[in-house]
Amino acid sequence: MKVLSLFDGMSCGQIALERAGIKVDNYFASEIDKYAIQITQKNYPKTIQLGDVTNINTNDLPKIDLLIGGSPCQGFSFAGKQLNFEDPRSKLFFEYVNLKNKLKPAYFLLENVKMKKEYQNIISKHLGVEPIEINSSLVSAQNRKRLYWTNIPGIAQPEDKGILLKDTIEGGGVDRDKSYCLDANYFKGTNLEQYLKKCRRQIVFNYSSSGKGHGIVEDRFYNSTLGKAHALTAAGYSKRSFSRVYNKDGIRKLTNIECERLQTIPDNYTEGVSNTQRYKMIGNGWTVDVIAHIFKGLLNENI
């Protein structure tokens, strides 16, 4: 199979294809972030990097069997300003459409955030299919609702694996069953008060050797190692809920490895660049097991 991945990032698509048991002959990747490219080439050195999506010459490509991509979502996200197709990043969706129309791949997959129905309908019209909504919480410890447009046959909801956030972290306790949705800004928010009250980022509670939580004064944070968390977003933790439950020794951010696990990426897949860049690319990436679930629909196809 010959694959073209647009907005490839750190190549979660290749991990998913491998995990789904799909043999890939050539994997072409369009990406401009040098750190994401570095991680891709570290893990998949045979990747053929094409650079900027706007500069791809289709005459230089063979027949593409599978076109995949998750075009930048900042213009569509409910967490953002929702500038929709006027946002220059979201306009890149039309680069995906243009290449799909020129290359005519047998199969395609486009991922994006939940958005207003009017924007969703525009994408559906251009791609000729309606999306399926899948929450990553079914296959991971992260709440992450995304839309997937594809013509890969037989796609249904994945089976719930029952993975909890408390089973994902390297140590400490958590305040919910599933994490907040990871995003590319998770590395931000170094000021503790801002981090809790405004950033709505997932936290982990540190425990002393006696098993008690440092700085946690509300009993509800102690019960049964505290379950799964909501998805990490750029909105804010409520001031009412969190203003009394922390000190500098009592909480921490998710580690890079914990974030990789929330995205069902192999531990230390992103190792080799700064922590800031690791957090950024993990937040921008796909939940691999969701994509692998979709790709399994190709196993019985004659490609």
Burial class (CB in 10 A: 0-12, 13-18, 19+), 295: buried
Catalytic residues: 73
CA distances from 61 to 2, 52, 54, 56, 109 (A): 10, 15, 15, 9, 19
C-alpha 77/C-alpha 73 separation (Å) is 6
Q: What phi, psi does 167 have (nearest 5°)? A: -90, -5
The H or E element that residue 107 is part of is: strand 107-113
Query: What is the identity of the amino acid at 222?
Result: Y
- 281 closest CA partner among 198, 147, 187, 201: 187
User: Look-up: residue for tokens 């979502």?
Assistant: 73
Name residues whose C-beta falls within 8 Å of residue 205's C-beta, 6 or more positions apart in sequence. 172, 173, 174, 175, 213, 214, 216, 221, 226, 250, 251
60/2 Cα distance (integer angstroms): 13
AA letter at 164: L
Residue with tokens 């049964």: 224
